[in-house]
Amino acid sequence: MTTPPTASTVDVPALRELLDSDDRPRLIDVRTPGEFETGHIPGSYNVPLDLLREHRAELRAHLDEQVVLVCRSGQRAGQASQALATAGLPNLRVLHGGIGAWQAAGEAVSAGRPRWDLERQVRLVAGSIVLGSVLTSTTVPRAKWLAAAIGGGLTFAALSNTCAMGMALSKLPYNRGPKCDMAAVLSALASDRS
């Protein structure tokens, strides 16, 4: 079995140029619905990474042109590109630096209800657990092992390019935002084609 090619990246100025051209790419934002609702590139479609992985073959049938994948930083979009590449989708690109780079360049964003980014939530939860366990370890010495476990988990997350804590936090009602189902996504993709 051959390994699918990884998607190339596109920077903000190049994406702006593509969006202003007659051959506009499809923008697929793979963040959670809550993150998407907070702010997204106008004209993008929200297909959370888990949903994209599960329905990549169905998406393949609706995405035959250029596709640019967007997330917060580019990490989840890179994972989405691998999933879509295994389904045989050509012309995949990942927005380098994600929505953060887009906003930093002063580009337009459709904004909704503000929420903390998932990565910021992970830092808060991990930091709170480590701080709490270190403080607790002054009276209960075994509590230091909780801090060690969190440190080990963060190290594994960096090495494996995954984040179990982030995946768990994305399931919370605060992060789910409006429901995103594949039938609605496919319908929107099909109607925008005409």
pLDDT of 32-63, one tens digit each?
Answer: 888 898 899 999 999 999 899 998 888 888 88
pLDDT given at position 3: 40
> Within 13 Å of residue 145, how many CA atoms lie on the same side as its CB?
3
Class assignment of domain 8-113+180-192?
Answer: alpha beta
Mean pLDDT confidence for 105-109:
95
CB under 8 Å to 133, separation ≥6 — which residues? Answer: 143, 144, 145, 146, 147, 150
Q: Crossing angle of helices 144-160/118-136, nearest 10°?
A: 150
Residue burial 86-123, b: 16+ Cβ < 10 Å; e: rest: ebebeebbbbbbbbebbbeeebeeeeeeebbbbbebbe
Q: Is pLDDT at 6 greater than 60 in this prediction?
A: no
Give 3-state DSSP helix, strand, coil % of the chain, rounded to 5: 55, 10, 35
